[in-house]
Structure 1
Amino acid sequence: MAVFALIGTLWVHYEFWGYLIVRPGLLGSAKNIIEVEHLIPIRTDFCDTDKPCGLTIDKQSTLVEILNSSQGAPYSPNAKPLLNHLQAQGKLPSSFEHNVQEALAIYSAMLQSPIIATPDEGYTQDFLQGVVLIGKTKAGHKRAFVSARGDQVANDHYPYYQALFAIEQNGNSIQYLDGQRFFFEVAGIEGFEGPLVIFIIWGVLVLIFGCVPTAFIIIVDTLWQHRLHQQSED
């Protein structure tokens, strides 16, 4: 029962948050980008389920602003894993670029990638806000890496995406290569995730489906044996 409860707990945690135990860090394949050409903040225009969205360069966003906000927003993750990696490698630019239109071509490929979450009725999957890194691998292959969050796909339930794309034919061909996503909450149950929560839920499940039925069976069996004993004496 304990084993089945643990498997069930991990499954529920994965289905809701998008990972088993610990939030994923930077996508491993993104670290293959060793030459940074552009670092661009992006976001979609305001849109809803009745209005198509369009990706734009977020000219109001600054690198310092995102670095500071990411440190104080543990339940609203953004590009911190990417920025920390670039900083550790000594490749973090001093500021964002706000005039690289090449980043906007990623939008359609991103929305068609398998990591995009399917929203509940009345919500949209089209919103993105984050950072696009364009650079090259050691072999000289051009890559684009997107680190962005989406709008809520269910009540207070937001997706966070990381996706790697190959850029070929002078930017005319963009192919999805790799990605990951997880979710976070901004109200109600934010922070109710991770190892401690898994342990608590596992304990509750063991108690409900293991200890309680076992205790009930023991009580019933004891009463039954007591009754049989009385009948045999009579």
Structure 2
Amino acid sequence: MTYEYWGFLLERPGLLEAAKTITKVEHLVSVDTSTCDVPEECKFDLDNSQTISEILNKSEQDPYYDPYYDSLDERLLRHLQTAGKLPSSFDQTLPKGLDLYGAMMQSPIIAHPTEGYTNRYLRGTILIGRTASGQQHAFLSLRGGQVENDHYPFYEAIFTIEQNGRTAQYLEGQRFFYEVAGIEGADGLPFAMFLFFAMVIIFGGFPTAIVIIIDAFWNRPPSLTPLE
């Protein structure tokens, strides 16, 4: 139940290992689809709302910083920083002719929304670079819009960019979910422990109580008739 609802068992998975195969950074772009009101016209647009330094320094500058929520934006950037490959700023142009939004929406990790919600809104970071063998890859680290009430997906996916520079082939990815209201922070281990004790009570406590009651009733001593 934990895996089906959150996408992981006891703790969130770390950064997708495939991201670490990119050894040379060519583009690092912050994107969103906030103007994606017509599904057929959806695409990634540049997101200039935050700089790299603002994202990384958010924990020090923002008194309302929430590591459970805000650290998702930092995952890829922290890796690049540790590896010594982090640019000083995001690029201000997107690669022309490369439809990474369409490729992402066709990937198997995109969550299916419940009725009344949509999965087409995405925002996050796109890394395009080269592997040690010279192959061009795109790594996408993205938040999705809510696919059911207060339930949001987070995606990481890597694509091979074909030599024509216009075609992206999905290789692998991962997805998990988080909450932004109500039960945020209750995923993983806390959620698993709650389920465990609930199941102990439901499937252990109640049947045991019933058995005890039946046993007590069945084995009660016969009533004695008073002597006249």
- Counterpart of 2:53? 64
CA distance in 2, matches of 1:32, 1:50: 32
TM superposition score normalised by structure 1: 0.86
- Counterpart of 1:168? 162
Q: Secondary structure at the match of 2:219?
A: helix
Check conservation: 1:49, 1:123, Cα contact below 8 A: no
Superposed, 1:107-122 pairs within 5 Å as: 107-122=101-116
Give the CA deviation at 1:201. Answer: 2.0
Q: 1:104 to 1:191 in 2, by over 3 A?
A: farther
CA distance in 1, matches of 2:204, 2:138: 49
Give the CA deviation at 1:48. Answer: 4.2
TM superposition score normalised by structure 2: 0.88
The question of 1:73 aligning with 2:70 is answered no
CA distance in 2, matches of 1:202, 1:34: 43
Question: RMSD between aligned alpha carbons?
Answer: 2.1
Q: For residue 85 of structure 1, what is the amino acid of its counterpart?
A: H
Q: 1:18 to 1:70 in 2, by over 3 A?
A: farther
CA distance in 1, matches of 2:57, 2:173: 25
Q: Secondary structure at the match of 1:230?
A: coil
Q: Secondary structure at the match of 1:76?
A: helix
Which residues of structure 2 form unaligned runs of 5+? none
- Counterpart of 1:203? 197
From 202, 205, 212, the equivalent of 1:218 is 212
Superposed, 1:1-234 pairs within 5 Å as: 12-48=1-37, 52-69=41-58, 72-77=65-70, 78-102=72-96, 105-226=99-220, 229-230=221-222
More displaced 10-residue stretch of structure 1: 63-72 or 154-163:
63-72
Give the CA deviation at 1:212. Answer: 2.0
Q: Secondary structure at the match of 1:101?
A: coil
Q: 1:22-77 deviations in whole A, cap 9, x for unaligned?
A: 11110011111111111110111323477742321113331112223477233435
More displaced 10-residue stretch of structure 1: 69-78 or 119-128:
69-78
Q: Secondary structure at the match of 1:96?
A: coil
CA distance in 1, matches of 2:203, 2:38: 42
Give the CA deviation at 1:220. Answer: 0.9
Q: 1:13 to 1:102 in 2, by over 3 A?
A: farther
Which residues of structure 1 form unaligned runs of 5+? 1-11
- Taking only the aligned residue pairs, the percentage that are identical comes to 50
Give the CA deviation at 1:208. Answer: 1.8
Aligned length: 220
Check conservation: 1:48, 1:124, Cα contact below 8 A: no
Check conservation: 1:13, 1:198, Cα contact below 8 A: yes
Q: 1:180-233 deviations in whole A, cap 9, x for unaligned?
A: 11111111111111213311320121022102211220221121011xx428x8
Greater helix content: 1
